[in-house]
């Protein structure tokens, strides 16, 4: 069920008369991680909405205190939740998503629900074949125990350092760990891990829909969780779509590129693409 905050954001967007941008966070983060992005986009003339995943707590403190609140959320259920939020908007939004949010962004665009979309370091769905060792290591905290499929897992600082903040200095890495990560459901990682042997995988993306809209992939050169080879594979699958499809790799950036001190570079590139294609 949509929260009061989310419904309030939808109402503000609907009454603003402005074009709308929806932000979708990834695993181990919350909707609040987009706050600086939202302020930037709103200053540029957009209304923004940033729903959480179903039943997400509103704060990092609440999330860390209640790991069970994250357990059992599937890619399909999360996608349906965002599709429902879009149905409440009077204007079709541009969609920006990071990590698993980037996979869900592609799914929503494939459903014809986006005017333009920007998947950033997107988690792999069915049909994405590379299996980098760094991605396996980044996912190992959840995948190492089959019981984690039904649970939520909190990253230790060392695990977060490897998976998210390997490309920033130590002092910044520790600050980001204190500020952002929450327990993440194991289920989406298990779904992604077996996607290519499951013909009915919830990670399937409709890449052929002519109403998909323009799409631009952004990839961090040093990302361990979603290495550039995975973003490139997703781009190659999408580029046969009749709508414009682009990819850009950001030098010396890791998986934390949307929340670390270099976030504004990523936001600027995203904003420019949306301004070019979204009205």
Question: Any idea what the CATH number is for the domain that residue 63 is in?
Answer: 3.40.50.1820
The percentage of the chain sitting over the pLDDT mark of 70, rounded to a whole number, equals 100
Q: Is the pLDDT of residue 129 over 90?
A: no
Angstrom distance (rounded) from CA 16 to CA 47: 7
126 pLDDT higher than 80: yes
CB 63 within 8 A of CB 31: no
How far is Cα 213 from Cα 159, in angstroms, rounded to an integer? Answer: 36
Reduced to 3 states (helix: H, G, I; strand: E, B; else coil), residue 112 is coil
pLDDT score of 137: 93
Split at pLDDT 50, 70, 90, the class of 130 is confident
Taking CA atoms, 40 is separated from 21, 34, 36, 55, 272, in Å, by: 11, 10, 6, 27, 12
Give pLDDT tens digits for 237-277. 999 999 999 999 999 999 999 999 999 999 999 999 999 99
Q: What is the pLDDT of residue 21?
A: 98
Q: 96 lies in which domain range?
A: 4-277
Backbone φ, ψ for residue 187 (5° rounding): -55, -45
pLDDT band (50, 70, 90) for residue 128: very high
What band does 131 get if pLDDT is binned at 50, 70 and 90?
A: confident
Spacing of C-alpha 258 from chain mean position: 10
Give me the sheet containing 215-220, strands edge to edge: 47-49, 20-24, 94-98, 117-120, 215-220, 245-250
pLDDT at residue 279 above 80? no
**pLDDT value for 1:** 82
Across the range 12-39, mean pLDDT stands at 98
Number of domains in the chain: 1
Quick check: 38 and 50 in contact, CB under 8 A?
yes
Phi, psi of 188 (to 5 degrees): -60, -35
> Can you state the angle between helices 263-277 and 35-43, rounded to 10 degrees?
40
The helix, strand and coil proportions of the chain, stated in percent and rounded to the nearest 5, come to 45, 10, 40
pTM over the 0.85 mark:
yes
pLDDT at 278 over 80: no
Q: Are 127 and 196 in contact (CB under 8 A)?
A: yes
**Residues 70 and 63 sit within 8 Å (Cβ to Cβ):** yes
- Rounded mean pLDDT of 115-124? 98
Q: How far is CA 136 from CA 132, 162, 225, 258, in A?
A: 7, 12, 8, 21
Residue linked to tokens 């996608």:
79
CA 262 → CA 85, 215, 239, 250, 266, distances in Å? 29, 22, 28, 10, 7
């Amino acid at each position: 069920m949509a929260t009061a905050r989310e419904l309030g954001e939808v109402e503000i967007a609907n009454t603003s008369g402005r074009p709308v941008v929806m932000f979708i966070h990834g695993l181990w983060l919350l909707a609040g991680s987009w706050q600086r992005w939202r302020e930037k986009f709103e200053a540029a003339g957009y209304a923004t909405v940033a729903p959480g995943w179903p039943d997400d707590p509103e704060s990092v403190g609440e999330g860390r205190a209640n790991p069970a609140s994250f357990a059992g959320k599937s890619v399909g259920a999360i996608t349906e939740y965002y599709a429902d939020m879009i149905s409440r908007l009077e204007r079709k939004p541009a969609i920006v998503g990071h990590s698993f949010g980037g996979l869900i962004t592609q799914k929503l665009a494939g459903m014809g629900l986006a005017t333009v979309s920007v998947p950033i370091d997107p988690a792999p769905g069915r049909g994405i074949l590379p299996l980098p060792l760094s991605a396996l290591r980044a996912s190992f905290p959840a995948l190492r125990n089959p019981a984690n499929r039904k649970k939520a897992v909190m990253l230790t600082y060392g695990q977060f350092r490897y998976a998210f903040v390997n490309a920033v200095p130590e002092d910044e890495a520790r600050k980001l760990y204190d500020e952002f990560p929450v327990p993440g459901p194991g289920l989406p990682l298990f779904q992604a891990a077996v996607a290519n042997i499951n013909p009915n995988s919830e990670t399937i993306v409709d890449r052929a829909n002519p109403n998909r809209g323009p799409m631009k992939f952004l990839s961090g050169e040093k990302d361990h969780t979603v290495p550039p080879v995975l973003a490139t594979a997703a781009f190659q699958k999408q580029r046969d779509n009749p709508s414009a499809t682009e990819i850009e790799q950001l030098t010396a950036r890791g998986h934390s590129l949307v929340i670390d001190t270099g976030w504004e570079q990523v936001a600027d590139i995203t904003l420019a693409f949306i301004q070019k294609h979204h009205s």
